[in-house]
C-alpha cells in the first residue's frame, strides 16, 4: 500500500515514471503554427507526467498510478495526452479524478464518441477496445488516478495512422469546452 497525494499526484511507492515535454507533442494539435510559436518558450516544459506502480506484467495483475497534466492550450485546443488503444485491446481501464478538471475523450472502433467529464471524486470507465485520451479543460493542473491490466500495453499507432481521433476538444467562452470535428482525421499523405 502507499499514499497518493491528490494535490501533487505523487504516488508514494511508484516504481516508474515518465514525462512528456511540449516538444515531444508535435503533430498532436490541429494548429501547427500556434505550436511553433509556443515552442521556444515551452519546449522543455513538462505538459504531463505519469507515475505508476507495477507489481508485475503478469496477466491478472494491475498497474495503477497518476497522471498530472498542466493547464494550457495550443491555439484553442487544450493540452492532452497522446492517447492510445490498448495493445491487448480487450483490456479496460478506470480513471478517478483527484484535482482539477478535464475530460476523457473516448472513441469506439465503430466510431462512436463518448466524452466524460472528470473532476475530484468522479470515476470514469473506459470499456474494452475504446481509444482514449485525457484533456485538461481547466485552469489548474488536472490530476487523476488510473488502473489497468498489467499486460494491456499501449498502441499509439492507431492514432498516428488516423491523424488523431475523430473529434477534438477546444476551449469555448471563458471556462467552457466544446467538441469539434478533427478535419485532419483519416487524411492520406
Ligand atoms: C493515463 C493512463 C496511462 C497512460 C497515461 C498517458 O495515465 O491511461 O496508461 O500512459 O494516461 O497517456 P498516453 O500513454 O496516451 O500518453
Ligand atoms: Zn489506457
- How close is the Cα of 37 to the center of ligand 2, in Å? 30
- How close is the Cα of 83 to the center of ligand 1, in Å? 7
Q: So what's the pLDDT on residue 189?
A: 72
Mean pLDDT of 75-97: 98
Would you place residue 85 in the very low, low, confident or very high pLDDT band (cuts 50, 70, 90)? very high
Q: Which residue has the higher pLDDT, 64 or 189?
A: 64
Q: Which residue has the higher pLDDT, 114 or 174?
A: 114
Q: So what's the pLDDT on residue 188?
A: 81
Could you read off the pLDDT of 104-159 as tens digits, one per residue?
A: 999 999 999 999 999 999 999 999 999 999 999 999 999 999 999 999 999 999 99
CA dist 132 and 168 (Å) reads 12
Task: Ligand 1 pocket test: pick from 67, 98, 145 the residue with the most ligand atoms within 8 Å of its Cβ.
Answer: 67
156 Cβ partners below 8 Å, 6+ apart?
Answer: 82, 83, 84
The closest residue, in CA terms, to atom 7 on ligand 1 is: 67
Ligand 1 binding pocket includes 146 (Cβ within 6 Å): yes
Ligand 1 binding pocket includes 54 (Cβ within 6 Å): no
Q: Are strands 93-99 and 85-86 parallel, antiparallel or unpaired?
A: unpaired
What atom in ligand 1 is closest to the CA of residue 148?
9
Angle 170-140-106 from CA coordinates, rounded to 5°: 45
Would you place residue 187 in the very low, low, confident or very high pLDDT band (cuts 50, 70, 90)? confident
Ligand 1 binding pocket includes 81 (Cβ within 6 Å): yes
Q: Are strands 167-172 and 62-69 parallel, antiparallel or unpaired?
A: unpaired
Could you read off the pLDDT of 163-173 as tens digits, one per residue?
A: 999 999 999 99
User: Quick one: cell of 107?
Assistant: 472513441
Please tell me whether residue 33 adopts helix, strand or coil conformation: helix
CA dist 101 and 111 (Å) reads 25
CA dist 57 and 50 (Å) reads 17
Could you read off the pLDDT of 33-72 as tens digits, one per residue?
A: 999 999 999 999 999 999 999 999 999 999 999 999 999 9
Distance of CA 32 to the CA centre of its chain: 19
Q: So what's the pLDDT on residue 175?
A: 87
Amino acid at each position: 500500500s502507499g499514499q497518493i497525494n491528490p494535490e501533487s499526484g505523487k504516488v508514494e511507492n511508484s516504481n516508474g515514471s515518465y514525462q512528456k515535454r511540449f516538444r515531444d507533442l508535435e503533430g498532436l494539435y490541429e494548429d501547427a503554427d500556434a505550436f511553433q510559436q509556443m515552442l521556444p518558450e515551452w519546449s522543455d516544459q513538462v505538459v504531463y507526467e505519469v507515475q505508476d506502480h507495477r507489481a508485475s506484467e503478469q496477466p491478472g495483475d494491475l498497474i495503477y498510478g497518476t497522471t498530472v497534466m498542466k493547464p494550457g492550450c495550443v491555439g484553442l485546443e487544450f493540452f492532452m495526452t497522446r492517447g492510445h488503444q490498448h495493445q491487448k485491446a480487450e483490456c479496460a481501464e478506470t480513471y478517478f479524478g483527484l484535482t482539477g478538471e478535464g475530460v476523457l475523450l473516448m472513441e469506439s472502433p465503430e466510431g462512436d464518441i463518448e466524452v466524460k467529464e472528470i473532476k475530484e471524486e468522479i470515476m470514469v470507465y473506459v470499456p474494452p477496445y475504446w481509444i482514449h485520451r485525457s484533456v485538461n479543460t481547466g485552469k489548474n493542473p488536472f490530476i487523476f488516478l488510473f488502473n489497468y491490466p498489467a499486460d494491456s500495453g499501449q498502441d499509439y499507432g492507431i492514432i498516428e495512422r488516423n491523424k488523431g481521433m475523430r473529434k477534438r476538444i477546444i476551449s469555448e467562452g471563458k471556462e467552457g469546452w466544446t467538441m469539434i470535428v478533427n478535419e485532419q482525421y483519416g487524411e492520406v499523405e
